[in-house]
Amino acid sequence: MVPVEYVITDVADPFTGQKLAGKYFVLDRVGSGAMSVVYKARQDPIDRIVAIKLLKKEWSNDPVTVKRFQREAKAVSTLRHKNIPAIMDIGTADTGQPFFVTELIEGTSLEQCLESGDLIEPERAVRIFMQVCDALSHAHKQGLIHRDIKPGNIMIVDENGIEQVKLVDFGIVKYAKSQAASQQLTQKGEIWGSPVYMSPEQCAGNDLDHRTDIYSLGTVMYEVLTGKQAFDGKNIPAILVKQLNEMPAEFSVAAPDRSCPKKLEDVVFRTLQKSAEKRYQSMEECKLALEEVLKEFERARRRISGTIAAPPKPFSQSLQGVKLSTTETKPGPPAVSTTGETARTASREAEPPHTDITANKSLKLIIAILCLLIVGSGIAIGVFIGWNHNPTSTQRVPGKPP
């Protein structure tokens, strides 16, 4: 049985079912752009599935376009990064059309996610953006500017259960450190790219550096997080005017039904500054800012996880300062404090019922008269006052001799 990946599905295409350079058997056309077509092919004799990017026939007689295509192949061949498809071969078809061969990327583009209405949660989006930063950082260090960062050029593939990003289509790549060579293919004032995602300096046709890719990434981040393009218009000139002069709406206005951390929104708007000097100055700096946002997500998840998953404390530990005993004890006499209100309360509880107050006063009066007769008025008055001050002083306290 022929493996499914070897089945030819597009017999109408002139290259499908044919061999390129005698060793690439074309199985299917998987994509097409303004100047090139991408095919899925089998490499013989090692039986490897690859992707072939072939310049369209109508452009193969244009020397500038051919040079630009060859420049893309040469530029990408210098890149060695897990987030950028590697170039394996370069050649020319019998028709004179140049092509190059890369690893086949089978996944979903951010553009397809957006078109399908697939909501990408902010934390997942941050992880995707960080990988794009890694890829562009590597390209920038090699002196290359992508110039066409957009959702369609950011592929998401599954590699052993891990979401991996692949940055594709370096078709209008530019050498940042070799302006003279670049000017031969891209004259000053020429506008190349996708207007919705282009930086102000790119829209104006000015000289570019790596910070134009930072702005373009910002437009992609904005669209993924809000579901709305940062800048749109009825036509290309209207979009270009907005790119040059306006800032996009805040997230709360563009997408009031979505939740996004303010810190992440701040990162996006930093990349979208009209002046390149006010943006992040490198992809590494942009990635560091995204990493801080990711840490916030992770801290919040740990807090939630800790609240839900933490086992309840034993009851003996749930009350601080309280000692609990599991040994049953027999009730005993209550402890009595000898100080303060507790002592007075205990004393009152221990006292016997009071005797008749009127009888006590009569007895005191008789004794006072006797003292007056015997000792004198001074002592009698003192005794009378003292007894009146403590009416219970003559009462007997249990446990003491009378």
Helix, strand, coil shares of the chain, percent, nearest 5, are 45, 15, 40
Q: Which of 134, 148, 169, 213 is catalytic?
A: 148
22-64 per-position pLDDT tens digit: 899 999 998 887 788 999 999 988 989 999 999 998 998 888 8
- Which of 179-193, 230-244, 337-351 is modeled with the greatest confidence? 230-244
pLDDT value at residue 378: 54
In SS3 terms, 85-150 reads as CCEEEEEECCCCCEEEEEECCCCEEHHHHHHCCCCCCHHHHHHHHHHHHHHHHHHHHCCEECCCCC
Contacts of 7 (CB under 8 A, 6+ apart): 27
> Domain end: 281, 305, 329, which one?
305
Provide the mean pLDDT of the chain.
78
Which is it for strands 87-92 and 48-55: parallel, antiparallel or unpaired?
unpaired
Alpha-carbon distance of 234 to 18, in angstroms, equals 43
> Domain end: 104, 136, 163, which one?
104
What order of strands is seen across the sheet that includes strand 48-55?
19-20, 24-32, 36-43, 48-55, 98-103, 87-92
Number of domains forming the structure of the chain: 3
Q: What is the CATH classification number for the domain harbouring 9? A: 3.30.200.20
Is 262 within a domain? yes
Query: 80 and 172 share a domain?
Result: no
pLDDT value at residue 108: 92
Query: 98 and 112 share a domain?
Result: no
Q: Of the given ranges (234-238, 299-303, 314-318), which has the lowest mean pLDDT?
A: 314-318
pLDDT value at residue 282: 97
Q: State the DSSP string of 283-320.
A: HHHHHHHHHHHHHHHHHHHHHHHHHHHSPPPPHHHHST
Is residue 402 predicted with pLDDT exceeding 90? no
Q: Of the given ranges (113-117, 163-167, 367-371), which has the lowest mean pLDDT?
A: 367-371
Q: Which domain holds residue 371?
A: 357-397
150-204 per-position pLDDT tens digit: 999 999 999 888 899 999 988 666 766 544 444 444 544 455 678 999 999 999 9
Say if pTM beats, i.e. exceeds, 0.85. no
Band of the pLDDT at 363, cuts 50, 70, 90?
low
265-284 per-position pLDDT tens digit: 999 999 999 999 999 999 99
Is residue 17 predicted with pLDDT exceeding 60? yes
Is 341 within a domain? no
Tokens matching residue 218: 């910002």
Is 332 within a domain? no
Tokens matching residue 74: 């040469």
Cis peptide, bond prior to residue 45, ω within 30 of zero: yes
Annotated active-site residue 148? The verdict is: yes
Encode 92-115: b = buried (16+ Cβ within 10 Å), e = exposed. bbeeebbbbbbebbeeebbbebbe
